Amino acid sequence: MNKRRGFLYGMLCLAIASFVSAQEKAEVIINADLGTQTISRHIYGHFSEHLGRSIYGGLWVGEDSSIPNTNGVRNDVIKALKQIKIPNLRWPGGCFADEYHWMDGIGPRSERPKMINTHWGGVVEDNSFGTHEFLNLCELLETEPYICGNMGSGTVEEMSKWVEYITFDGESPMANLRRENGREKPWQVKFWGVGNENWGCGGNMSPAGYAENYRRYATYCRNYGDNRLFKIAGGPNVDDYRWTETLMKNIPRGMMNGLSLHYYTFADSWTNKGNATGFDDNEYFRTLENAVHMDELLTRHSAIMDQYDPEKRVELVVDEWGAWYNVEPGTNPGFLYQQNTLRDAILAGLTLNIFHSHADRVKIANIAQMVNVLQAIILTEGEQMVLTPTYHVFDMYKVHQDAVLLPADVRCGTYDRLERSLPAISVTASKDKDGAIHLSFVNIDPANDIEITCPVRGAGNNKITSSQIITGENVRTYNTFAQPEKVKLAAFKGASYKNGELRFKLPAKSLVTIELK
């Protein structure tokens, strides 16, 4: 049943749609007492690479900057990130990770060597943001660091020493070097990536070649003291199922805790990414169609993993996902800077709902990327900062972190375009540790409101304690530095909850989350 769930995503609503009299109505049945899986908070993770203005300008401005900062990191960004409770942050790449030599990024900043960032615009990387700066930032944000080590151009020794430098508490060359650089106590680092996209920018390896290398590198990533590494293997590109199968077959259980998967959504394809703004309704439809392909990918990769790991000891780690469009006109093509519209908020809602529905295998995910790159949640320009529509989804959805997933049965109509159909709504629900139930609804239809009838079985005598909405004038609406609140999180009025049944009109092109307590 589980294996087929992903394919059913599209099929279920389509099949049932014929029983629903009008597209503008939907019935959702929530079983509040039947949850078994926990939604790992780590699927709400983020990613910041040395790419464009993600780190430099976006996060790091240096202690001497006129932009208000804490130890060199912008205060406005820190405040915004704390608000959404980011559970983990992946760094330093991406493709950059397999060219990064961590020793260049420690010690006095003025003495750190410079390098060329060959992947991303050929700009000079001065290494002023390195291991200490990153781990101190994670402490400030109260988030778990997720470090991606260099397998592509680095040695086993180099990766091994990085782990020792960060996590060893005793007397050793690397621990002593860390102390010389001002950090007495080790940091705790759990999530450790062994290379990135090693089928491509991370070394152009074959799956068997990578698996063999993984075993060597992972062997020397040691657990020091009470630090326990959670080792993540560089996984497949999109639908490369052979890669998944080869790694699952050739890496012994216990050596690999997670297997990464990367999937980006284009408005059309890699060679025709489309624009971040000014798209038409057909492009909107195609983008969402591409986004929900995630469900099939998770289903099929999980099915392979199930064959080799029925106990689900290896987690599927979607450590790069999000929308990838053409860069904003006039910006450096290597910097991947794009705007972010209500379409992206809807895409994020759909994707997070899909992750929830795969909570048994998908336990970590990282949207790409946090600031100023691809589907960013934050954009900056000099001292200005703006929160994107996608940011507000992470804010709205934080209530689902570590909550128990509740089964949801959705009977809805479709949003049709190009002679194709997508289910018009997507729903997810969870119960948190205090018993509060949160129901999140996404209406992808840009024109039609949908009347929702939602019996919440087994919920007891609850009341609506909060309702929030994200919407905008149209799906192309976005926030700018001059108009930062065109798409924002707002109170939602109009829902009623009587006799265990929730009723409300879900506005066109919106995301709504309702809390019952």
Q: Which of 30, 39, 95, 405 binds ligand AHR (CB under 6 A)?
A: 95
Size of the site for ligand AHR (CB under 6 A): 10
Residue 90 CB, nearest approach to ligand AHR (Å) = 10
C-alpha closest to that of 231 among 189, 285, 273: 189
Does 320 qualify as catalytic in the annotation? Answer: yes
Q: Which of 94, 145, 186, 236 binds ligand AHR (CB under 6 A)?
A: 94
Q: Within 282-341, which residues bind ligand AHR (CB under 6 A)?
A: 320
**Of 49, 164, 197, 315, which one is the catalytic site residue?**
197
Cα distances (Å, whole numbers) of residue 358 to 73, 76, 132, 363, 412: 35, 34, 35, 9, 21
Residue 295 CB, nearest approach to ligand AHR (Å) = 21
Q: Which of 48, 167, 196, 351 binds ligand AHR (CB under 6 A)?
A: 196
C-alpha closest to that of 189 among 171, 168, 172, 175: 168
Is 197 a residue that touches ligand AHR (CB under 6 A)?
A: yes
Core vs surface per residue 369-407: b (16+ CB within 10 A) or e: bbbbbbbbbbbbeeeebbbbbbbbbbbbbbbbbebbbbb
Residue 48 CB, nearest approach to ligand AHR (Å) = 10
Is 130 a residue that touches ligand AHR (CB under 6 A)?
A: no
Q: HEC states along 387-422?
A: ECHHHHHHHHHHHHCCCEECCEEEECCEEEECCEEE
Q: Within 381-440, which residues bind ligand AHR (CB under 6 A)?
A: none
SS3 126: coil
Calpha distance 14→18 (Å, rounded): 7
Helices 281-291 & 293-308 angle (0-180, nearest 10): 10
| 476, 267 contact by CB (below 8 A) | no
**Of 99, 125, 164, 320, which one is the catalytic site residue?**
320
| 170, 184 contact by CB (below 8 A) | no
Q: Based on CB atoms, which residue is closest to ligand AHR, 93 or 413?
A: 93
Cis peptide before 369 (omega within 30 of 0): yes
C-alpha closest to that of 46 among 386, 317, 378, 365: 365
Q: Which of 368, 377, 393, 425 binds ligand AHR (CB under 6 A)?
A: 368
Which residue is nearest to ligand AHR, using beta carbons?
94
Residue 244 CB, nearest approach to ligand AHR (Å) = 17
Cα distances (Å, whole numbers) of residue 274 to 23, 270, 271, 420: 29, 9, 9, 20
Stretch that binds ligand AHR, among 69-77, 90-98, 225-233, 442-450 (CB under 6 A): 90-98
| 352, 362 contact by CB (below 8 A) | no
Q: Per-residue contact track with ligand AHR, 51 to 70, x per CB under 6 A?
A: --------------------
Q: Based on CB atoms, which residue is closest to ligand AHR, 260 or 471?
A: 260
Q: Which of 49, 98, 144, 164 binds ligand AHR (CB under 6 A)?
A: 49
Residue 374 CB, nearest approach to ligand AHR (Å) = 6
SS3 462: coil
Residue 120 CB, nearest approach to ligand AHR (Å) = 8
Is 98 a residue that touches ligand AHR (CB under 6 A)?
A: no
Does 27 qualify as catalytic in the annotation? Answer: no
Calpha distance 67→45 (Å, rounded): 26
Residue 186 CB, nearest approach to ligand AHR (Å) = 28
Q: Which residues bind ligand AHR (CB under 6 A)?
A: 49, 93-95, 196-197, 320, 368-369, 374
What is the set of active-site residues? 197, 320
